[in-house]
Chain A
């Protein structure tokens, strides 16, 4: 899908002299400036409820993240209280940052029990690049990108989350699961 930019745009003499365009730009910005400057006054006086400014005061106010948002990857904990993960290692391989570390565990062939599960499942968030490849690679709907992005810490060692820290009940991930199903369309449902 190569796509070429036409760099030989023919400009009229008027456009090439640049000055009128500068004045146009200045007009736009100063119009915003004055409208906002005087529009602010009623807002600060408490007269007008909504303002033209959409700034969110972050720590106090938060926006709802859309389901497409990729926050930190988490493990899904299914209804039976077990991790959905079968420790297949696909996410480990798919991860471009090599930040997933899995130690699988399995039973010795007993009937009617979980066959495989991750003994250990670590994700090092200090290394993770939030690409979402793990989610895409997983065949079991076991790893999902959550909407949590506030994971800054003062100690890097603490950023390596273990299985217990990563597990999130599947009910909390409903929206994202719906989204991934639609998005990747690789499950034959």
Chain B
């Protein structure tokens, strides 16, 4: 039963992720990204992490991607111009991105190899509920949590200041 939902979801997400990269029009890419995020949310929900799944939908699919779409529409990028097809190649950036991707891949493979797939770990029934996540966030991970919120606050203030100076 679980596999029956997992494989379609995973396939769907991977296909759409490919769509993001391959798609010729920016709005198509954005739509694929949204679809992929919904697929990811589905996978999260399957792993009993309802809270994370919902957050994935609210924050990524709901809020951030709407802004993406908004910007794409505001600039009216139709994806027909030549500059959209072939952007300038930046060797340094390409190499750096490749390194990053490789590093992430290495880590993922490393983790997967370590896992004993035959005997999946048992999780508590409360696993993934809002209450449990809240508790972990505010006890074990309170420092990273606060640091992240300060970072976001700084970013917000910075954005407001930038916008303000332009206006005045």
Chains A, B in direct contact (C-beta < 8 Å): no
